[in-house]
Structure 1
Amino acid sequence: MNQKLKAIKQTAQHKTWVSFLNNNHPYSLLHWSIGGAESVQKDVWLLQDEMTFKAQEFTTIDLAIDWIGENMDGITDVL
C-alpha cells in the first residue's frame, strides 16, 4: 500500500493531478490553484470522486495522502 501512496503523491506532484482506483471506484487527486467561473484563487489539493464529482479539500498534498492512506484500503491502479 505504501508504494501505491508514494506513486499517487509523486505523480500528482509531477503532473499536478493523478487518477487512481479504490475498490474499482475512480478518484482523482489534483492541485487547484485557479478555478471556477470567477477564477477563484486557491492553493489546495482536491480529492474528487469521479462518479459523483464530490470533492474534499486539503491544504497540503501530505494531508491528502495521509487521508487516503487512512480511509482507502483498496487502491489497485494509479493512472
Structure 2
Amino acid sequence: MSNKGKINSIKNVAQSKTWASFLNHNHPYSLLHWSIGGINSDDKDVWLLQDEVTFEVQEFENIDAAVSWITENMDGITDVLG
C-alpha cells in the first residue's frame, strides 16, 4: 500500500474509532480525537497527534489539518493499527 493509501487508512480508522495508531520509520504515533469540558475548563474539540515514546503532542483544529501535516511530514508509514 502506498503512503497515501496508509494515510487514508489512518484517517478512516481515526474517524470511525476516534483514534488510530501507526508507525512512521518504526516510531509509534497515535492520531486521536480529544474533547473536554466541565465547570473549570473550556470546551475543546481537537485532534491530537501524539508521539507514543515521548508523549509529545501536536494539536490540530480538525482531522483534515492533522492528515495534511502527516502527509507533509511523515514519509515512512509502515503499519496502521486500529
Shared fold per TM-score greater than 0.5: yes
Q: CA RMSD in A?
A: 1.3
TM-score (norm 2): 0.88
1:65 and 2:67 are equivalent in the alignment: yes
| Bigger-Rg structure (1/2) | 2
Identity %: 70
Q: What one-letter code is carried by the residue in structure 2 that aligns with 1:33? A: S
2: CA distance, partners of 1:72 / 1:25: 11
- Equivalent residue of 2:20, what SS? strand
Letter in 2 for 1:41: D
- Specify the alignment match of 1:26 in structure 2: 28
User: Alignment length, in residue pairs?
Assistant: 77
* Runs of 5+ consecutive residues of structure 1 not aligned to the other structure: none
- Flag structure 2 segments of 5+ consecutive residues without an equivalent: none
After TM superposition, the runs of 4+ consecutive aligned structure 1 residues lying more than 2 A away are: 38-41
